[in-house]
Amino acid sequence: MGANMGKNTSLLDALPSGQGTLHVVMLGLDSAGKTTALYRLKFDQYLNTVPTIGFNCEKVKGMIGKAKGINFLVWDVGGQEKLRPLWKSYTRCTDGIVFVLDSVDVERMEEAKMELIRTVKSPENTGVPILVLANKQDLPGAREPRDLEKLLGLTELGGGSSGGHLWHVQPACAITGDGLHEGLEVLYEMILKRRKLAKMCKKKTSFTA
Ligand SMILES: Nc1nc2c(ncn2[C@@H]2O[C@H](COP(=O)(O)OP(=O)(O)OP(=O)(O)O)[C@@H](O)[C@H]2O)c(=O)[nH]1
Ligand SMILES: [Mg+2]
């Protein structure tokens, strides 16, 4: 690919991103299961992973509900502490954010909360829908979505999926794939909802102007 890239061609142009493809960024602490989830979505099988230094990017097709047939370009960014300052260069202009969480790792829940809130509150991410993938639900001691909403302070963001910042907590297991496509479907619906709201706001301002 590199050899064919012309002077004016960006990396994004060279990727297989067709018209109407939605851009989604997967973030979360190291070892939360982002890469496992990405390859489960892409290949429908479990692939052994190594810690991501940099990023992975795959085109994934929605399989269920309204998201069926929709193309998502999913960016999976390394979650190690030293890599987190890079997250904001991936969230620029993204349609949605998937924050992958290890639902068992209670010790690092506060750290995950801090990173999630930092991401949500970042001015470039204003209004970008957030899907929290409550991963590793197959393990004993995995916290339930209801608990996680409270532990992560999501309830303070304003109204959940009914208003304010759009977010949803989806229980999942990246190893088996349980909950992954369901999560993508909810994210898609939130993206549509955000676009609708933006259109309505535009109409309102043009009326009042
Ligand atoms: N039991 C269980 N293990 C999981 C699940 N998802 C991922 N894992 C395991 O968690 C470990 C880390 O998974 P990765 O997908 O590499 O994590 P990551 O979030 O990409 O980590 P970084 O690349 O370092 O940011 C691996 O050993 C996975 O097999 C899950 O749903 N259940
Ligand atoms: Mg990874």
Q: Which of 31, 34, 39, 41 is the best mutation target for the ligand 1 pocket, counting ligand atoms within 8 Å of the beta carbon and taking the most?
A: 31
**pLDDT at 164 (0 to 100):** 65
Using CA atoms, how far residue 50 sits from 34, 73, 82, in Å, is: 11, 21, 16
Helix (H, G, I), strand (E, B) or coil at 16: coil
Binding site membership of 175 for ligand 1 (Cβ less than 6 Å): yes
**pLDDT at 197 (0 to 100):** 85
Task: Please tell me the residue having the least CA distance from ligand 1 atom 21.
Answer: 31
Is the four-CA dihedral 24, 62, 127, 132 of positive or negative sign? Answer: negative
Q: Whole-model pTM?
A: 0.89
What ligand has the least distance to the C-alpha of 28? 1
For the stretch 21-37, pLDDT in tens is: 999 999 999 999 999 99
For the stretch 150-191, pLDDT in tens is: 999 998 876 544 456 899 999 999 999 999 999 999 999 999
Is the backbone of residue 98 left (phi > 0), alpha (psi -120 to 50) or beta? beta
| pLDDT surpassing 70 at residue 13 | no
Ligand 2 centre from 27 Cα, in Å?
9
Ligand 1 centre from 22 Cα, in Å?
24
- Contact present, 135 and 100 (Cβ < 8 Å): yes
Distance CA 168, CA 166 (A): 7
| pLDDT surpassing 50 at residue 103 | yes
Q: How confident is the model at residue 199 (pLDDT cuts 50, 70, 90)?
A: confident
**pLDDT at 140 (0 to 100):** 98
For 61, the token pair is 């097709």
| pLDDT surpassing 50 at residue 122 | yes
Binding site membership of 164 for ligand 1 (Cβ less than 6 Å): no
Indicate which atom in ligand 1 lies nearest the CA of residue 176: 31
Ligand 1 centre from 119 Cα, in Å?
21
**pLDDT at 163 (0 to 100):** 52
Task: Please tell me the residue having the least CA distance from ligand 1 atom 13.
Answer: 33
> The domain at 19-208 falls in which architecture?
3-Layer(aba) Sandwich (3.40)
| pLDDT surpassing 50 at residue 12 | no
Using CA atoms, how far residue 125 sits from 29, 59, 122, in Å, is: 18, 22, 5
Binding site membership of 183 for ligand 1 (Cβ less than 6 Å): no
